[in-house]
């Protein structure tokens, strides 16, 4: 028995929503073929378009599916039944890009396995399993990529413990433009440089922005969304990891982008726009800023 799954790229840390707000893209997406077998265990048969580790201990899909299988074995009705999975991954989302490549693999396999097993798990359980994939990939079991990958749209993590996640409204004309400079930024390094304590004045600004961003999404108030896309806590520290980050941001806003920031822990940078006309112009500006540099890059555009 097999299933084909499309699992989307995602943007975590929606500017002011560090670790809590993420969104799913329409494009790019991974293609996953998952088969339920009678051979116990998980077998990563092939990974196409990437040199990702086949080594199960380093692979997010393996870790996520293993967490699911472990739990399933505890609730399994027919204890005699032997269950295993075979995975084939077509990685259209480049690993290390900052647009949720490891999350897409992890979220996709647990979603598919749940269907193949007759849906024994709810969404929150699936997100928990997928978070184990993130733990393997980045050292941190964060949920702001896997939650939107599984739930779709824009998601807010109100609490990690207990896990409490809400899907937010996606405004009709919201588009995202992304540039992925081919430089390496490890999530674990990008977390290590962050401060563990923040100023009360910064916290006040940040939670004002988060609340207003949520209101802006629901009211489809693009002006309010734009004013709320400000991060005074994480971005000022991480921006040094990305060449020409502020130049990109300023120039994209000049031609009408609502605002944007670092996608996940980078190196990708994203900009939100109202409508695809502006989103395309943003891509042109991203090209203008990056084409003279000695850095390879790739751009993407997607509705939300």
Nearer to ligand HSE, 132 or 144 (CB): 144
Q: Which helix (H) or strand (E) holds 156?
A: strand 154-160
Q: How far is the CB of 138 from ligand HSE (least distance, A)?
A: 6
Q: And the tokens for 243?
A: 């060449």
Q: How far is the CB of 175 from ligand HSE (least distance, A)?
A: 21
Q: How far is the CB of 302 from ligand HSE (least distance, A)?
A: 17
The count of C-alpha atoms lying within 13 angstroms of the C-alpha of 98, restricted to the half-sphere facing its C-beta, is 31
CA distance 212 to 235: 18
CA distance 277 to 284: 11
CA distance 70 to 299: 39
Residue 227 has a CB neighbour count (10 Å cut-off) of: 15
Strand partners, 258: none
Q: Which of 155, 187, 235, 278 is catalytic?
A: 187
Nearer to ligand HSE, 19 or 230 (CB): 19
Residue 81 has a CB neighbour count (10 Å cut-off) of: 10
Q: And the tokens for 300?
A: 């993407």
123 is catalytic: no
Residue 37 has a CB neighbour count (10 Å cut-off) of: 15
Q: How far is the CB of 13 from ligand HSE (least distance, A)?
A: 5
Nearer to ligand HSE, 63 or 83 (CB): 63
Measured at CB, which residue is nearest to ligand HSE? 264
Q: How far is the CB of 136 from ligand HSE (least distance, A)?
A: 13
- Interface residues with ligand HSE (CB under 6 A) are 12-13, 19, 142, 144-145, 187, 191, 264-265
Residue 228 has a CB neighbour count (10 Å cut-off) of: 24
Nearer to ligand HSE, 116 or 141 (CB): 141
Q: Which of 10, 134, 235, 278 is catalytic?
A: 134
254 is catalytic: no
Q: Which residues are CB-neighbours of 239 under 8 A, at least 6 positions away?
A: 245, 246, 262
Nearer to ligand HSE, 29 or 274 (CB): 29
- The catalytic residues are 134, 187
């Amino acid at each position: 028995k097999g299933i084909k799954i499309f699992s989307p790229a995602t943007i975590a840390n929606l500017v002011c929503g560090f670790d809590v707000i993420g969104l799913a893209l329409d494009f790019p997406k991974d293609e996953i073929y998952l088969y339920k077998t009678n051979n116990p265990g998980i077998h990563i048969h092939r990974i196409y378009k990437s040199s990702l580790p086949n080594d199960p201990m380093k692979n997010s899909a393996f870790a996520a599916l293993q967490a699911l299988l472990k739990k399933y074995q505890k609730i399994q009705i027919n204890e005699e039944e032997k269950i295993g999975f075979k995975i084939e991954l077509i990685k259209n989302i480049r690993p290390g890009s900052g647009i949720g490549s490891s999350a897409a693999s992890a979220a996709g396999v647990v979603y598919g396995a749940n269907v193949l097993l007759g849906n024994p798990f709810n969404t929150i359980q699936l997100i928990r399993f997928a978070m184990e994939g993130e733990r393997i990939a980045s050292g941190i079991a964060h949920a702001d990529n896997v939650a939107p990958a599984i739930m779709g749209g824009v998601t807010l993590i109100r609490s990690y413990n207990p896990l409490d996640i809400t899907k937010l409204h996606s405004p009709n004309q919201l588009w995202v433009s992304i540039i992925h400079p081919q430089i390496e930024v490890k999530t674990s390094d990008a977390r290590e440089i962050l401060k563990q304590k923040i100023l009360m004045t910064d916290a006040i600004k940040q939670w004002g922005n988060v609340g207003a961003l949520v209101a802006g999404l629901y009211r489809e108030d693009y002006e309010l969304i734009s004013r709320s896309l400000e991060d005074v806590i994480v971005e000022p520290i991480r921006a040094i990891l990305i060449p020409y980050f502020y130049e990109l941001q300023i120039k994209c806003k000049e031609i009408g982008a609502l605002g944007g920031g670092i996608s996940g822990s980078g190196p990708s940078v994203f900009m939100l726009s109202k409508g695809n006309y502006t989103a395309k112009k943003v891509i042109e500006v991203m090209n203008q800023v990056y084409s003279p540099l000695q850095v390879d890059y790739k751009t993407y555009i997607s509705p939300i």
